[in-house]
Structure 1
Amino acid sequence: MQGYYWPTMKQDAKNYVKRCDRCQRYATIPRVPSEVLNLVTSPWPFAQWGMDIVGPLPIATAQNKFLLIAINYFRKWVEVEAYASIKDKDVSKFVWKNILNIKNLYSTSRYPQSNEQVEATNKTLLSALTKMLEGAKGKWVDELPGVLWAY
């Protein structure tokens, strides 16, 4: 819903989510005490990006089953593309297409704390996809633009 506003919109949205069956069934349930996230700052837009690969997910359109996700640490802007498989050339094309001329800094694989902003974004995007799709697991590629826009 782009371009809409009414005075009680925020409260109406809260009430909708409270009554939304899918939102309640797929909501994240905290299982351990929350930890304070380390604030990752960037001095200016596009100075620092985080990237991660999510998957494999249920096979979707065009045999896609992976997400390549990048987030700008300053603006929190997210870029996402779906892939059937991910090779180094795919990552290179993604970076040049979506993040031109950005210095590449590596994080330690299998150590999510070194890439916290991306990991938190992954969790949010996957939660939103789960809520939107329910049983239609292979449709996540079709829903990705809407989820990204809502993010």
Structure 2
Amino acid sequence: MTDAEQVVRTYEGCQFFARQTHLPAQALQTIPITWPFAVWGLDMVGPLKRTPGGFTHLLVAIDKFTKWIEAKPIAALRAADVASFFRNIVYWFGVPNSIITDDGVQFTGRSFLEFCDEFHIRVDWAAVAHPWTNGQVERANGMILQGLKPRIFDRLKKFGSRWAAELPAVLWSLQTTTSRATSCTPFFLAYGAEAVLPSELKYGSLRIQTYGDEQNTTNAQLANDLLDEARDAIVVTSAKYQ
């Protein structure tokens, strides 16, 4: 085999479509998940139907530990928009250890990489031949789209351009729904308490009816104990797959 043939065979596009890979064998690299908001998966969805505001794509990020999902509509595939999106995540949840993403132009651009350097965030690239490395964010993409469909369905226009307006409600439902992977809601794993839902106010749940300083102190102590147990269980489960 000539040197040119070897280069072509190991080229990224060839790797993706070839029946077998031609890269040298390497040890599998596992990504340990040991605390909330330490490792995020990052991806993009689109193009979607253009909204009145000009949005055509959706940036999506998921915390690997709590399964908390963040998303932001964007109008162009620019690294500066990705940097702005993730800067807000840092301001809400702290600086992560690493971000897992693909090599799309919006993720390899200077603005985003300079942002990661500024905060000392490691970028782990999901292999083209092994996209399931970032499988959690791919599933998050699907859950968001599935949540949007019934909200924007129109018999005449099919799936309309209201998806950006409905996005916050979909994210809220995902953050307050129990994850099969953790047996907890992302909201609980993030904040140590379940979110108060409108239905609780409408029908008067027990915690709404018994709201008071003394009861709140007791509930907070219990929630902290349950939170520690839940997070420890996730660490143990994650370690089984390392």
- Provide the residue aligned with 1:67 in structure 2: 58
Q: 3-state DSSP class of the match of 2:162?
A: helix
CA distance in 1 between counterparts of 2:62 and 2:137 reads 6
2:74 pairs with 1:51? no
- Counterpart selection for 2:78 from 53, 62, 87: 87
Q: Would the aligned equivalents of 2:38 and 2:95 in 1 still touch at CA under 8 Å?
A: no
Q: TM-score, normalised by structure 1?
A: 0.68
- Structure 1 residue 111: Cα displacement: 4.6
- Counterpart selection for 1:126 from 137, 145, 151: 145
Structure 1: unaligned runs, 5 residues or longer: 1-39
Q: 3-state DSSP class of the match of 2:125?
A: coil
- Provide the residue aligned with 1:25 in structure 2: none
Q: 3-state DSSP class of the match of 2:82?
A: helix
2:166 pairs with 1:143? yes
Q: What CA deviation, in whole Å up to 9, does each residue of 1:82-131 have, x standing for no partner?
A: 01112011111111111353233222357531210000110111011112
CA distance in 2 between counterparts of 1:61 and 1:81 reads 15
Q: Would the aligned equivalents of 2:58 and 2:74 in 1 still touch at CA under 8 Å?
A: yes
- Provide the residue aligned with 2:111 in structure 1: none
- Counterpart selection for 1:101 from 95, 99, 102: 95
What is the root-mean-square deviation of aligned Cα atoms in Å?
A: 1.8
Q: 3-state DSSP class of the match of 1:105?
A: strand
Q: 3-state DSSP class of the match of 2:143?
A: helix
CA distance in 1 between counterparts of 2:44 and 2:134 reads 12
Distance 1:110 1:145, change over 3 A: farther
Specify which structure has the higher proportion of helix: 2
Q: 3-state DSSP class of the match of 1:44?
A: coil
Letter in 2 for 1:66: H
Structure 2: unaligned runs, 5 residues or longer: 1-30, 97-120, 175-242
Q: Would the aligned equivalents of 1:46 and 1:74 in 2 still touch at CA under 8 Å?
A: yes
- Structure 1 residue 56: Cα displacement: 0.3
Q: Would the aligned equivalents of 2:61 and 2:69 in 1 still touch at CA under 8 Å?
A: yes
Distance 1:137 1:108, change over 3 A: farther
- Structure 1 residue 133: Cα displacement: 1.1
Letter in 1 for 2:170: V
Q: TM-score, normalised by structure 2?
A: 0.43
Question: How do 1:10-21 residues align onto structure 2 when only pairs under 5 Å count?
Answer: none
Identity %: 34
Q: 3-state DSSP class of the match of 2:67?
A: coil
